[in-house]
Amino acid sequence: MQSKKLLIALFVCISLSSCKEKTERDDLEPLQTYVEPKDVYEFGFKLNDYIVKRDTIRKGDSFGVIMERNNVGYPKIFHIAEKAKESFNIRNLQVGKPYTLLCAKDSLQTPKCFIYQPSMEEYVVLNFQDSIHAYTSKKPITYVEKSATGVIDSNISETLEQLGLSPRLAYKMADEIYAWTIDFRRLQKGDRFKVIYTDKYIDDTIYTGVHNIKAAYFEHKNEPFYAFQFETDSIKHIRDYFNEEAKNLRRAFLKMPVQFSRISSRYNLNRRIAYYGYKVRPHKGTDFAAPVNTPIMATANGTVIESAYKGGNGNYVKIRHNATYSTQYLHMSKRKVKVGDFVKQGDIIGLVGMTGNTGGPHVCYRFWKNGAQVDPFREKLPEAEPISDALKGKYLNYIAPIKLQLDNILFEDQTIEIASKADLISAVK
């Protein structure tokens, strides 16, 4: 009897100890909770409501092929295409461009919406989940203002690379702002710069590069050069860069119509070519060699007066800039403008190609003055339009706070100097 009581007491102790350990363990272990998935929105749709399929247009793909691949029958495909054609031509799908299918959450995963992205910003929606309708829209764009400083050690590109900054800043400063003021091929060690610029983001997350330079300061050979961007024509949205005294920093024409190219053949009225038996065949243009599909820029503001394909010229564009000057751009692979379009300096008007009479990819740049073709490199080209007297006061008021902001941006050596002085004052105290 006594041994039976001992066994019962031992069992109770073991059970109590086990319960205590379990309670302590339960107190330590976190409770398992269900977390609701975060709502995700894109293209104006709540993606959580669909099965999302993403892909790119492949060779041989068409809207019909993509739909059939995703269990949509031909009668419905034809009906969608007919209803949507007034807003979007489904034949314009380009290989390599991304698309998204929003599909029903069922066993068939039936597509309800087709979204095509011709560019990073723009997208086309073909919505056929209820009624069929198509429309074009753009993703939200965010511009973030930033500033940067640097000191030249060898060249501007290497300096920006060392600072982790976009190389586009170098192009904008060298070709858009200071092209006629500072020779960036002859920068000196110790030259320095400050710049206020904006970066562009799509959907707050996709970085697409430097959008614009608001203001810059470049110190070359100890001489300061300020630059402030200002809109001089609110109707045509023409912007230019001016210094602190409202003087324009640019000429009316860019030096060349393509970036990062080389001159492969100059304007030469006495040119002789072996292929033609060394007969004199004047070359009244300047050839800039560049890879196929390199963007070609309008060298000045103007109106497109010709955009066509013609014989040896191939695809070409001609622009009238004013009563005195016109320019022409030959051998394009593709023209991007039509007759009557107003273009601004730097706008893309076509792509480098090999159409017409050409032995390699380049753009032949021709320059007219008073109806005669001339060599632009031997011409004293006019300066860009100055700020009108009516706008000068507005400009000076506009740049005053920006100049103050620019002046208050310190170079690294100035920051170190101020910090050292602060430490010295603190030590004296």
Strands 362-369, 372-374: parallel, antiparallel or unpaired by DSSP? Answer: antiparallel
Quick check: is 63 in a domain? yes
Q: Do 236 and 158 belong together in one domain?
A: yes
Q: Do 184 and 164 belong together in one domain?
A: yes
Per-residue pLDDT of the chain (429 residues; tens, 9 = 90+): 555 555 555 554 545 555 555 545 455 455 555 566 688 889 989 999 999 999 999 999 999 999 999 988 888 888 888 888 888 888 889 999 999 999 999 888 989 999 999 988 899 999 998 888 889 999 999 999 999 999 998 888 888 888 888 888 988 888 788 877 887 878 899 999 999 999 999 988 888 889 999 999 999 989 999 999 999 888 878 888 999 999 988 777 888 899 866 788 777 766 655 545 566 567 788 899 999 999 999 998 899 999 999 988 999 999 999 889 999 999 999 999 999 999 988 899 999 999 998 888 999 999 999 999 999 888 887 777 778 888 999 999 999 999 999 999 998 766 655 555 555 566 555
| Domain edge (last residue) among 138, 165, 182 | 138
Quick check: is 22 in a domain? no
Rounded Cα–Cα distance for residues 217 and 227 (Å) = 6
Query: Minimal CA–CA distance to 402: which of 206, 227, 156, 283?
Result: 227
Whichever domain contains 125, its CATH number is 3.10.450.350
DSSP codes of every residue in 34-92? PPPPPP-EETTEEGGGSEEEEEEPPTT--HHHHHHHTT--HHHHHHHHHHHTTT--GGG
Q: Do 61 and 134 belong together in one domain?
A: yes
Whichever domain contains 347, its CATH number is 2.70.70.10
Quick check: helix, strand or coil at residue 281? coil
Count CB neighbours of 377 within 10 A: 13
Q: Do 194 and 175 belong together in one domain?
A: yes
Q: Which amino acid is at 383?
A: E
Rounded Cα–Cα distance for residues 303 and 343 (Å) = 6
Quick check: is 409 in a domain? no
Q: Do 366 and 284 belong together in one domain?
A: yes
Number of domains observed in the structure of the chain: 3
| Domain edge (last residue) among 117, 138, 159 | 138
Q: Do 48 and 86 belong together in one domain?
A: yes
Q: Do 68 and 128 belong together in one domain?
A: yes
Q: Do 50 and 95 belong together in one domain?
A: yes
Quick check: is 222 in a domain? yes
Quick check: is 51 in a domain? yes
Residue 62 lies in domain: 41-138
For the chain, the distance separating the N- and C-terminal CA atoms, rounded to the nearest angstrom, is 89
Q: Do 121 and 55 belong together in one domain?
A: yes
Residue recorded with tokens 């461009």: 97
Quick check: is 174 in a domain? yes
Q: Is 50 in contact with 102 (CB distance < 8 Å)? A: yes
Quick check: is 362 in a domain? yes
Q: Do 161 and 209 belong together in one domain?
A: yes
Q: Do 238 and 272 belong together in one domain?
A: no
CA distances from 290 to 254, 265, 343, 349 (A): 17, 12, 22, 15
Burial class (CB in 10 A: 0-12, 13-18, 19+), 241: buried
| Domain edge (last residue) among 113, 138, 163 | 138
Quick check: is 79 in a domain? yes
Q: Do 268 and 333 belong together in one domain?
A: yes
